[in-house]
Structure 1
Protein backbone atom coordinates (compact mmCIF):
# COMPACT_ATOMS: atom_id res chain seq x y z
CA UNK A 1 0.00 0.00 0.00
CA UNK A 2 1.17 3.52 -0.79
CA UNK A 3 2.25 5.73 2.12
CA UNK A 4 0.53 8.79 0.57
CA UNK A 5 -2.18 9.22 -2.07
CA UNK A 6 -3.76 12.14 -3.88
CA UNK A 7 -7.44 12.97 -3.49
CA UNK A 8 -7.85 12.22 -7.21
CA UNK A 9 -6.83 8.59 -6.66
CA UNK A 10 -9.80 7.99 -4.35
CA UNK A 11 -12.38 10.33 -5.86
CA UNK A 12 -15.70 8.67 -6.72
CA UNK A 13 -19.07 9.77 -8.06
CA UNK A 14 -22.44 8.17 -8.68
CA UNK A 15 -25.56 9.33 -10.48
CA UNK A 16 -28.99 7.91 -9.72
CA UNK A 17 -32.48 8.61 -11.02
CA UNK A 18 -34.88 9.58 -8.22
CA UNK A 19 -37.98 7.38 -8.27
CA UNK A 20 -41.40 7.72 -6.62
CA UNK A 21 -40.32 5.09 -4.08
CA UNK A 22 -37.67 7.61 -2.86
CA UNK A 23 -40.24 10.31 -2.07
CA UNK A 24 -41.55 11.50 1.29
CA UNK A 25 -45.10 12.56 2.19
CA UNK A 26 -44.48 15.99 0.67
CA UNK A 27 -43.66 14.51 -2.73
CA UNK A 28 -39.96 15.41 -2.57
CA UNK A 29 -37.10 12.91 -2.34
CA UNK A 30 -36.75 11.79 1.26
CA UNK A 31 -33.73 13.22 3.08
CA UNK A 32 -33.08 9.82 4.62
CA UNK A 33 -32.63 8.32 1.16
CA UNK A 34 -30.09 11.02 0.28
CA UNK A 35 -28.25 10.45 3.58
CA UNK A 36 -28.08 6.74 2.79
CA UNK A 37 -26.56 7.47 -0.62
CA UNK A 38 -24.12 9.92 0.96
CA UNK A 39 -22.98 7.33 3.49
CA UNK A 40 -22.50 4.76 0.72
CA UNK A 41 -20.33 7.04 -1.40
CA UNK A 42 -18.31 8.15 1.66
CA UNK A 43 -17.68 4.46 2.40
CA UNK A 44 -16.62 3.82 -1.21
CA UNK A 45 -14.24 6.79 -1.23
CA UNK A 46 -12.67 6.00 2.15
CA UNK A 47 -12.33 2.30 1.32
CA UNK A 48 -10.71 3.14 -2.00
CA UNK A 49 -8.21 5.44 -0.27
CA UNK A 50 -7.38 3.09 2.60
CA UNK A 51 -7.80 -0.20 0.73
CA UNK A 52 -9.67 -1.41 3.81
CA UNK A 53 -13.14 -1.80 5.23
CA UNK A 54 -14.29 1.53 6.70
CA UNK A 55 -16.97 2.59 9.13
CA UNK A 56 -18.68 5.93 9.61
CA UNK A 57 -17.49 7.56 12.83
CA UNK A 58 -19.38 10.84 12.45
CA UNK A 59 -21.18 13.10 10.03
CA UNK A 60 -20.60 16.82 10.25
CA UNK A 61 -23.49 19.12 9.47
CA UNK A 62 -25.92 18.06 6.79
CA UNK A 63 -27.88 21.06 5.50
CA UNK A 64 -30.56 20.38 2.91
CA UNK A 65 -30.23 23.44 0.70
CA UNK A 66 -32.64 22.59 -2.13
CA UNK A 67 -35.33 19.93 -2.50
CA UNK A 68 -34.86 17.09 -4.95
CA UNK A 69 -37.77 16.18 -7.17
CA UNK A 70 -38.83 12.71 -8.30
CA UNK A 71 -37.54 12.24 -11.86
CA UNK A 72 -34.36 14.25 -11.33
CA UNK A 73 -30.88 12.81 -11.62
CA UNK A 74 -28.88 13.06 -8.41
CA UNK A 75 -25.10 13.08 -8.61
CA UNK A 76 -22.99 12.52 -5.52
CA UNK A 77 -19.27 13.30 -5.57
CA UNK A 78 -16.85 12.27 -2.84
CA UNK A 79 -13.19 13.03 -2.20
CA UNK A 80 -10.76 12.69 0.68
CA UNK A 81 -10.29 16.09 2.35
CA UNK A 82 -8.20 15.06 5.35
CA UNK A 83 -6.30 12.08 6.70
CA UNK A 84 -5.40 11.35 10.27
CA UNK A 85 -3.64 8.24 11.51
CA UNK A 86 -6.61 5.86 11.11
CA UNK A 87 -9.37 8.22 9.99
CA UNK A 88 -10.27 10.21 6.91
CA UNK A 89 -12.66 13.07 6.29
CA UNK A 90 -14.62 12.52 3.09
CA UNK A 91 -16.25 15.56 1.54
CA UNK A 92 -19.54 14.68 -0.17
CA UNK A 93 -21.37 17.02 -2.55
CA UNK A 94 -24.92 16.34 -3.80
CA UNK A 95 -26.34 17.94 -6.93
CA UNK A 96 -29.62 17.34 -8.72
CA UNK A 97 -30.38 17.82 -12.40
CA UNK A 98 -33.74 18.30 -14.05
CA UNK A 99 -33.38 16.11 -17.14
CA UNK A 100 -35.93 18.13 -19.12
CA UNK A 101 -34.45 21.59 -18.53
CA UNK A 102 -30.84 20.73 -17.73
CA UNK A 103 -31.01 22.93 -14.61
CA UNK A 104 -28.69 21.75 -11.83
CA UNK A 105 -28.94 22.56 -8.12
CA UNK A 106 -26.49 22.14 -5.28
CA UNK A 107 -28.57 20.23 -2.74
CA UNK A 108 -26.10 19.71 0.08
CA UNK A 109 -22.54 19.10 1.12
CA UNK A 110 -21.36 17.21 4.16
CA UNK A 111 -18.27 15.76 5.75
CA UNK A 112 -18.07 12.15 6.85
CA UNK A 113 -15.34 10.96 9.20
CA UNK A 114 -14.53 7.40 8.24
CA UNK A 115 -12.25 4.99 10.12
CA UNK A 116 -10.35 2.11 8.51
CA UNK A 117 -10.67 -1.31 10.17
CA UNK A 118 -8.91 -4.65 9.87
CA UNK A 119 -10.59 -8.07 9.86
CA UNK A 120 -10.77 -8.09 13.66
CA UNK A 121 -12.46 -4.67 13.78
CA UNK A 122 -9.35 -2.83 15.01
CA UNK A 123 -8.43 0.61 13.66
CA UNK A 124 -5.60 0.52 11.13
CA UNK A 125 -3.38 3.25 9.67
CA UNK A 126 -4.43 4.91 6.42
CA UNK A 127 -2.27 6.47 3.70
CA UNK A 128 -1.65 10.17 4.16
CA UNK A 129 -2.99 12.73 1.72
CA UNK A 130 -0.89 14.41 -0.94
CA UNK A 131 -2.18 17.98 -1.17
CA UNK A 132 -1.63 19.26 -4.72
CA UNK A 133 -3.23 22.72 -4.79
CA UNK A 134 -4.70 25.56 -2.73
CA UNK A 135 -8.18 24.00 -2.90
CA UNK A 136 -6.81 20.80 -1.35
CA UNK A 137 -4.94 22.79 1.28
CA UNK A 138 -8.11 24.76 2.10
CA UNK A 139 -10.11 21.54 2.49
CA UNK A 140 -7.44 19.92 4.67
CA UNK A 141 -7.15 23.04 6.88
CA UNK A 142 -10.95 23.33 7.17
CA UNK A 143 -11.14 19.69 8.29
CA UNK A 144 -8.44 20.32 10.90
CA UNK A 145 -10.46 23.29 12.19
CA UNK A 146 -13.68 21.23 12.34
CA UNK A 147 -11.85 18.49 14.27
CA UNK A 148 -10.46 21.00 16.80
CA UNK A 149 -13.83 22.76 17.16
CA UNK A 150 -15.65 19.48 17.79
CA UNK A 151 -13.13 18.47 20.45
CA UNK A 152 -13.35 21.89 22.14
CA UNK A 153 -17.17 21.85 22.03
CA UNK A 154 -17.36 18.31 23.42
CA UNK A 155 -14.93 19.18 26.19
CA UNK A 156 -16.61 22.50 27.03
CA UNK A 157 -20.03 20.88 27.41
CA UNK A 158 -18.96 17.69 29.18
CA UNK A 159 -20.99 17.11 32.33
CA UNK A 160 -17.86 17.49 34.47
CA UNK A 161 -16.87 20.90 33.05
CA UNK A 162 -20.24 22.52 32.29
CA UNK A 163 -21.11 25.46 34.57
CA UNK A 164 -24.82 26.19 34.14
CA UNK A 165 -24.81 29.69 35.65
CA UNK A 166 -22.48 30.85 32.86
CA UNK A 167 -25.27 30.15 30.33
CA UNK A 168 -28.38 31.31 32.14
CA UNK A 169 -28.27 34.85 30.69
CA UNK A 170 -28.20 33.40 27.17
CA UNK A 171 -31.57 31.72 27.74
CA UNK A 172 -33.45 35.04 27.96
CA UNK A 173 -33.59 35.37 24.16
CA UNK A 174 -34.53 31.73 23.56
CA UNK A 175 -37.84 29.90 23.34
CA UNK A 176 -37.30 28.05 26.62
CA UNK A 177 -38.79 28.00 30.11
CA UNK A 178 -36.21 27.05 32.72
CA UNK A 179 -37.32 25.05 35.74
CA UNK A 180 -33.78 24.17 36.85
CA UNK A 181 -32.76 24.21 40.51
Structure 2
Protein backbone atom coordinates (compact mmCIF):
# COMPACT_ATOMS: atom_id res chain seq x y z
CA UNK A 1 0.00 0.00 0.00
CA UNK A 2 1.32 3.43 -0.97
CA UNK A 3 1.24 5.87 1.98
CA UNK A 4 2.66 8.82 0.06
CA UNK A 5 0.48 11.92 0.04
CA UNK A 6 0.26 12.99 -3.60
CA UNK A 7 -0.71 16.33 -5.05
CA UNK A 8 -4.53 16.32 -5.00
CA UNK A 9 -6.41 17.63 -8.02
CA UNK A 10 -9.98 18.00 -9.27
CA UNK A 11 -11.71 18.90 -12.52
CA UNK A 12 -15.23 19.71 -13.69
CA UNK A 13 -16.87 20.73 -16.96
CA UNK A 14 -20.01 22.78 -17.41
CA UNK A 15 -21.93 24.32 -20.26
CA UNK A 16 -22.74 27.95 -19.58
CA UNK A 17 -26.48 28.66 -19.58
CA UNK A 18 -28.38 31.98 -19.73
CA UNK A 19 -28.81 31.84 -15.94
CA UNK A 20 -25.01 32.33 -15.65
CA UNK A 21 -24.95 35.46 -17.80
CA UNK A 22 -25.91 39.08 -18.16
CA UNK A 23 -28.34 40.33 -20.84
CA UNK A 24 -25.54 40.42 -23.44
CA UNK A 25 -24.75 36.72 -23.04
CA UNK A 26 -21.47 37.22 -21.17
CA UNK A 27 -21.01 34.88 -18.23
CA UNK A 28 -20.67 36.75 -14.93
CA UNK A 29 -17.16 36.67 -13.46
CA UNK A 30 -18.68 35.79 -10.10
CA UNK A 31 -20.26 32.64 -11.57
CA UNK A 32 -16.86 31.52 -12.84
CA UNK A 33 -15.20 32.41 -9.53
CA UNK A 34 -17.79 30.28 -7.71
CA UNK A 35 -16.86 27.28 -9.87
CA UNK A 36 -13.18 27.94 -9.16
CA UNK A 37 -13.80 28.21 -5.42
CA UNK A 38 -15.69 24.90 -5.43
CA UNK A 39 -12.85 23.14 -7.25
CA UNK A 40 -10.24 24.59 -4.86
CA UNK A 41 -12.34 23.35 -1.96
CA UNK A 42 -12.68 19.86 -3.43
CA UNK A 43 -8.91 19.64 -3.96
CA UNK A 44 -8.28 20.52 -0.32
CA UNK A 45 -10.99 18.24 1.06
CA UNK A 46 -9.38 15.40 -0.89
CA UNK A 47 -6.04 16.27 0.71
CA UNK A 48 -7.19 16.82 4.30
CA UNK A 49 -10.19 14.47 4.40
CA UNK A 50 -11.87 17.24 6.38
CA UNK A 51 -13.48 20.66 6.38
CA UNK A 52 -11.85 23.54 4.53
CA UNK A 53 -12.71 27.20 3.99
CA UNK A 54 -11.50 29.80 1.54
CA UNK A 55 -9.17 32.31 3.17
CA UNK A 56 -7.91 34.22 0.15
CA UNK A 57 -7.95 34.47 -3.62
CA UNK A 58 -4.86 35.91 -5.32
CA UNK A 59 -3.97 36.93 -8.82
CA UNK A 60 -7.33 36.18 -10.38
CA UNK A 61 -6.88 37.02 -14.01
CA UNK A 62 -9.58 37.09 -16.67
CA UNK A 63 -7.91 36.13 -19.95
CA UNK A 64 -10.89 35.61 -22.29
CA UNK A 65 -14.62 36.24 -22.01
CA UNK A 66 -16.96 33.29 -21.59
CA UNK A 67 -20.37 33.30 -23.27
CA UNK A 68 -23.63 31.39 -23.05
CA UNK A 69 -23.21 28.06 -24.85
CA UNK A 70 -19.48 27.80 -24.13
CA UNK A 71 -18.18 24.79 -22.22
CA UNK A 72 -15.80 25.61 -19.38
CA UNK A 73 -13.38 23.15 -17.82
CA UNK A 74 -12.11 24.10 -14.39
CA UNK A 75 -9.10 22.32 -12.90
CA UNK A 76 -7.51 22.71 -9.50
CA UNK A 77 -4.13 21.41 -8.39
CA UNK A 78 -2.71 21.47 -4.88
CA UNK A 79 0.52 23.43 -5.10
CA UNK A 80 1.77 23.85 -1.53
CA UNK A 81 0.82 23.13 2.07
CA UNK A 82 1.79 25.12 5.13
CA UNK A 83 0.80 24.29 8.69
CA UNK A 84 -2.97 24.68 8.31
CA UNK A 85 -3.28 26.36 4.91
CA UNK A 86 -2.95 25.17 1.34
CA UNK A 87 -2.23 26.91 -1.96
CA UNK A 88 -4.30 25.70 -4.91
CA UNK A 89 -3.69 26.71 -8.51
CA UNK A 90 -7.01 26.91 -10.38
CA UNK A 91 -7.44 27.27 -14.14
CA UNK A 92 -10.52 27.66 -16.32
CA UNK A 93 -10.38 26.96 -20.04
CA UNK A 94 -13.18 27.62 -22.51
CA UNK A 95 -14.39 25.64 -25.51
CA UNK A 96 -16.38 27.71 -27.97
CA UNK A 97 -18.72 25.31 -29.72
CA UNK A 98 -19.44 27.69 -32.59
CA UNK A 99 -15.75 27.91 -33.50
CA UNK A 100 -13.18 25.32 -34.47
CA UNK A 101 -10.54 26.74 -32.16
CA UNK A 102 -8.77 24.83 -29.41
CA UNK A 103 -9.46 25.38 -25.74
CA UNK A 104 -8.40 28.82 -24.56
CA UNK A 105 -7.40 29.92 -21.06
CA UNK A 106 -10.24 32.01 -19.61
CA UNK A 107 -9.29 32.51 -15.93
CA UNK A 108 -6.47 31.67 -13.55
CA UNK A 109 -6.05 32.22 -9.82
CA UNK A 110 -4.38 30.99 -6.64
CA UNK A 111 -6.66 30.09 -3.75
CA UNK A 112 -5.58 29.85 -0.13
CA UNK A 113 -7.69 27.32 1.75
CA UNK A 114 -7.55 26.58 5.48
CA UNK A 115 -8.28 23.24 7.12
CA UNK A 116 -10.61 23.49 10.13
CA UNK A 117 -11.32 21.12 13.00
CA UNK A 118 -13.96 22.28 15.50
CA UNK A 119 -13.94 25.68 13.78
CA UNK A 120 -10.20 26.24 14.33
CA UNK A 121 -7.26 26.02 11.90
CA UNK A 122 -5.80 22.54 12.00
CA UNK A 123 -2.64 20.86 10.74
CA UNK A 124 -2.70 19.54 7.18
CA UNK A 125 -0.83 16.50 5.84
CA UNK A 126 2.53 17.28 4.23
CA UNK A 127 3.20 16.63 0.57
CA UNK A 128 5.68 14.16 -0.81
CA UNK A 129 7.15 15.35 -4.09
CA UNK A 130 7.37 12.51 -6.60
CA UNK A 131 7.97 14.22 -9.96
CA UNK A 132 9.78 17.21 -11.45
CA UNK A 133 6.40 18.80 -12.30
CA UNK A 134 5.26 18.47 -8.67
CA UNK A 135 8.53 20.03 -7.52
CA UNK A 136 8.04 23.02 -9.84
CA UNK A 137 4.43 23.44 -8.73
CA UNK A 138 5.47 23.17 -5.07
CA UNK A 139 8.12 25.89 -5.53
CA UNK A 140 5.57 28.17 -7.19
CA UNK A 141 3.05 27.52 -4.41
CA UNK A 142 5.70 28.11 -1.76
CA UNK A 143 6.63 31.43 -3.40
CA UNK A 144 2.97 32.52 -3.35
CA UNK A 145 2.65 31.40 0.28
CA UNK A 146 5.71 33.43 1.33
CA UNK A 147 4.50 36.50 -0.60
CA UNK A 148 1.22 36.37 1.30
CA UNK A 149 2.98 36.01 4.66
CA UNK A 150 5.08 39.10 3.88
CA UNK A 151 1.94 41.15 3.20
CA UNK A 152 0.32 40.22 6.52
TM-score by length of 1: 0.77
Correspondence 1:1-181 to 2 at 5 A = 4-7=4-7, 10-103=8-101, 104-118=103-117, 120-154=118-152
Contact 2:93–2:106 (CA under 8 A) maintained in structure 1: yes
Aligned length: 150
Cα deviation 1:85-104 (Å, max 9, x = unaligned): 11111111100112243531
- Report runs of 4+ in structure 1 exceeding 4 Å deviation: none
Q: More helix by proportion, 1 or 2?
A: 1
Contact 1:4/1:128 (8 A) holds in 2: no
How far apart, CA to CA, are the structure 2 residues paired with 1:88 and 1:124? 11
- Unaligned 5+ runs, structure 2: none
> What is the rounded CA distance, in whole Å, between the counterparts of 1:108 and 1:87 in structure 2?
23
Q: Are 1:61 and 1:111, in contact at CA under 8 Å, matched by a contact in 2?
A: yes
Higher mean Cα deviation, 96-105 or 66-75?
96-105
SS at match of 2:149: helix
Cα displacement (A) at 1:129 = 1.2
Find the aligned partners of 1:82 and 1:3 in 2 and give their Cα distance: 18
Q: Superposition RMSD on alpha carbons, in Å? A: 1.7
Unaligned runs of 5+ in 1: 155-181
Name which structure has the greater RCO, CA cutoff 8 Å, separation 6+. 2
Structure with bigger strand share is 2
